[in-house]
Amino acid sequence: MERFTITTRVDEQSKQLGEQVKERLLHLGWMYDDQSPEILISVGGDGTMLHAVHQRIDIIDQVVFVGIHTGTLGFLTDYAVSEVDQLIEDVTTKSPKIDQVFLIQIDRKNHKDLPPLFALNEARVENIIKTQRIEVFLNDEYLETFRGNGLCISGQLGSTAYNRSIAGAVIMPDFAALQMIEIAGIHHQLSKSLGSPLIVSPDTKIKLKSDSFYDTILAYDHLHVRLDGINEVTCFRSNKCVKFARYRKTSYIQRLHSLY
pLDDT tens readout for residues 197-224: 999 999 999 999 999 999 999 999 999 9
Left (φ > 0), alpha (ψ -120 to 50) or beta: where does 16 sit?
alpha
Domain region containing 133: 103-240
Q: In the prediction, which pLDDT does 186 show?
A: 86
Cβ–Cβ under 8 Å, residues 137 and 143:
yes
Residues 69 and 159 in one domain: no
pLDDT tens readout for residues 144-155: 999 999 999 999
pLDDT tens readout for residues 50-73: 999 999 999 999 999 999 999 765
Distance CA 228, CA 75 (A): 34
More confident residue, 240 or 258: 240
More confident residue, 208 or 194: 208
Q: In the prediction, which pLDDT does 3 show?
A: 96
46 in active site: yes
Q: Mean of the pLDDT values across residues 1-7?
A: 92
Q: In the prediction, which pLDDT does 227 show?
A: 96
Q: What would the 3-class secondary structure string for 48-81 be?
A: HHHHHHHHCHHHHHHCEEEEEECCCCCCCCCEEH
Number of domains in the chain: 2
Residues 59 and 30 in one domain: yes
**Any idea what the CATH number is for the domain that residue 38 is in?**
3.40.50.10330
Establish if 218 belongs to a structural domain.
yes
Q: Which of 11, 33, 34, 46 is catalytic?
A: 46
| Predicted confidence (pLDDT) at residue 113 exceeds the cutoff of 90 | no
Residues 79 and 129 in one domain: no
Q: In the prediction, which pLDDT does 86 show?
A: 96
Q: In the prediction, which pLDDT does 195 show?
A: 85
| Predicted confidence (pLDDT) at residue 91 exceeds the cutoff of 80 | yes
Establish if 25 belongs to a structural domain.
yes
